[in-house]
């Protein structure tokens, strides 16, 4: 008689359209099967947009997700620009790319901090959070807000890069070049952290293709895809952006959590390079095609058709499809596909064969949104008894595993040995 437990992982689940409830089927500590059910935080944003005009929807799309808000805005705006045939001045394109890269830096830093927290590496978590404040300062200097920036508009951007901001940006790049390497070494060269993340939540390259994984999740599986290379948008058309894949750095792609960590960390360096290139090549000129919103609105009212915007957000490619109807103010329909929507499909495969203590790490590894797991309900089906396992207990289990590994460190040889 098989004794499997079924554990639902967190209905209270942070995220936008990608809050997930997962039922993990366990045999002892080992996960044998997983079912995933999103939908806790479905607000019906796409439906709400039908009552609003495109300019109002910019600010709604910003509130799809607080972490990659700018990506969603640019993606929505590009979809509308695609259907209405609008131009963006080159300076506007450069500033858009600049903010997109700043957002990638802050998102990846936040993620690496939270991943460290999940495995019980608290000092690295605080180090990551402290470093993240620097890029938040720059974003605040640019836009006046730390989370939803309100920078982009149709045909360009709303805020310019001032000499003061440029100085702050260059200072930030210098700071990260200096401070980020120690952080990377502390985490990635730590044998316990390596043992904790290596060969956990594996997604092979073929599975990544079949399950349409995107972004760092796909690249960690060795898939060389990056929209900044394959269909350069905005200022990326002027630079060569090579997808960061683990096989280029470590010889082989494992597709596990450590590879996802490495890809994100290396992408931070890549973003810093891009930010410098943008600052060096920032052209003079207007940064918005038409600043008068009434005129923009009038031209959008005439637009008719369906547009597709697709960009490389921090977590993967973000797709928006927008349809406008001529003579109508409001958006006809709108479809958003956030990166986690695509990556979440491959969760069940990543879970298989791992331990319950790895579940928070695996869920976190695709960067679904910061604190995934709020609380869990453990059902013991044999005795029809339920008990609540809280997030803290689950994290405690996850941390316990790290400490056990730590005490075995001398005997334990981390699988793979990425750094050799």
Which range binds another protein by CB under 8 A, 22-30, 203-211, 357-365, 408-416? 203-211
Question: Hey, what are 400's tokens?
Answer: 């316990």
Under rule CB under 8 A, residue 328 binds another protein: no
CA distance 47 to 348: 29
Angle between helices 163-188 and 257-281 (to 10 degrees): 160
Under rule CB under 8 A, residue 230 binds another protein: yes
Q: Is 135 helix (H, G, I), strand (E, B) or coil?
A: helix
Minimum CB distance to another protein smaller for 390 or for 407: 390
Minimal distance, residue 70 CB to another protein, in Å: 12
Binding mask 338-377 for another protein (x = CB under 8 A): ---xx-xxx----------------------xxx--xx--
Minimum CB distance to another protein smaller for 181 or for 392: 392
Kindly report the backbone phi and psi dihedral angles of residue 385, in degrees, each rounded to the nearest multiple of 5, phi listed first. Answer: -125, 135
Site for another protein in 150-189 (CB under 8 A): none
Minimal distance, residue 275 CB to another protein, in Å: 17
Contact 329, 54 (CB under 8 A): no
Question: Hey, what are 120's tokens?
Answer: 């019980």
Using CB under 8 A, which of 164, 240, 284, 383 touches another protein? 240
Minimum CB distance to another protein smaller for 64 or for 195: 64
Using CB under 8 A, which of 3, 27, 28, 130 touches another protein? 130
Strand partners, 387: 378
Residue closest to 322 by CA, chosen among 88, 76, 155, 84:
76
Q: Which residues, 6 or more positions from 118, have their beta carbon under 8 angstroms from its beta carbon?
A: 360, 361, 364, 395, 398
Under rule CB under 8 A, residue 69 binds another protein: yes
Q: E strands of 90-218, at which residues? A: 152-153, 156-157
Using CB under 8 A, which of 23, 250, 333, 412 touches another protein? 333
Under rule CB under 8 A, residue 32 binds another protein: no
Site for another protein in 374-393 (CB under 8 A): 374-375, 386, 388, 390-393
Minimum CB distance to another protein smaller for 374 or for 416: 374
Question: Hey, what are 35's tokens?
Answer: 């079912």
Question: Hey, what are 215's tokens?
Answer: 């972004």
Under rule CB under 8 A, residue 148 binds another protein: yes
Question: In what order do the strands lie in the sheet containing 4-9?
Answer: 30-38, 20-27, 4-9, 375-380, 385-390
Under rule CB under 8 A, residue 71 binds another protein: no
Site for another protein in 107-126 (CB under 8 A): 110, 114, 126
Under rule CB under 8 A, residue 37 binds another protein: yes
Using CB under 8 A, which of 4, 8, 14, 204 touches another protein? 14
Using CB under 8 A, which of 29, 133, 381, 419 touches another protein? 133
CA distance 342 to 311: 14
Question: Hey, what are 405's tokens?
Answer: 């590994």
């Amino acid at each position: 008689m098989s004794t499997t437990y079924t554990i639902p992982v967190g209905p209270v689940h942070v995220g936008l359209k990608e809050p997930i409830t997962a039922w993990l089927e366990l045999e002892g500590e080992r996960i044998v099967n997983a079912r995933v059910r999103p939908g806790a935080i479905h607000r019906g944003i796409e439906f709400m947009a039908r009552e609003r005009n495109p300019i109002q929807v910019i600010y709604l799309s910003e509130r799809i997700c607080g972490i990659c808000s700018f990506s969603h805005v640019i993606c929505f705006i590009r979809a509308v620009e695609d259907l209405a045939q609008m131009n963006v001045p080159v300076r506007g394109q450069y500033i858009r790319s600049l903010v997109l890269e700043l957002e990638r830096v802050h998102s990846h830093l936040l993620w690496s901090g939270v991943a460290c927290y999940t495995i019980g590496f608290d000092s690295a978590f605080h180090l990551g959070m402290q470093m993240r404040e620097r890029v938040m300062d720059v974003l605040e200097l640019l836009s006046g807000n730390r989370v939803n920036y309100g920078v982009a508009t149709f045909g360009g951007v709303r805020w310019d890069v001032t000499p003061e901001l440029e100085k702050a940006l260059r200072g930030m790049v210098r700071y990260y070049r200096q401070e980020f390497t120690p952080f990377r070494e502390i985490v990635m060269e730590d044998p316990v952290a390596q043992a904790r993340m290596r060969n956990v939540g594996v997604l092979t390259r073929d599975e990544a293709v079949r399950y349409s994984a995107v972004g760092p999740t796909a690249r960690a599986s060795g898939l060389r895809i990056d929209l900044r290379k394959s269909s350069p948008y905005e200022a990326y058309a002027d630079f060569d952006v090579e997808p960061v894949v683990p096989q280029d750095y470590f010889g082989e792609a494992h597709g596990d959590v450590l590879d996802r960590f490495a890809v994100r960390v290396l992408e931070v360096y890549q973003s810093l390079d891009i930010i410098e290139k943008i600052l060096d090549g920032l052209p003079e000129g207007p940064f918005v095609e038409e600043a008068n919103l009434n005129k923009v609105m009038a031209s959008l009212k005439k637009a008719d058709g369906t547009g597709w915007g697709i960009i490389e957000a921090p977590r993967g490619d973000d797709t928006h499809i927008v349809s406008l109807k001529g003579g109508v103010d409001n958006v006809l329909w709108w479809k958003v596909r956030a990166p986690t929507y695509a990556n979440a499909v491959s969760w069940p495969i990543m879970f298989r064969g791992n331990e319950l203590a790895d579940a928070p790490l695996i869920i976190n590894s695709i960067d679904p949104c910061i604190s995934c797991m709020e609380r869990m309900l453990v059902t013991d089906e044999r005795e029809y008894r339920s008990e609540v396992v809280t997030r803290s207990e689950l994290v405690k289990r996850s941390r316990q595993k790290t400490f056990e590994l730590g005490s075995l460190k001398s005997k334990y040889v981390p699988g793979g040995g990425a750094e050799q």
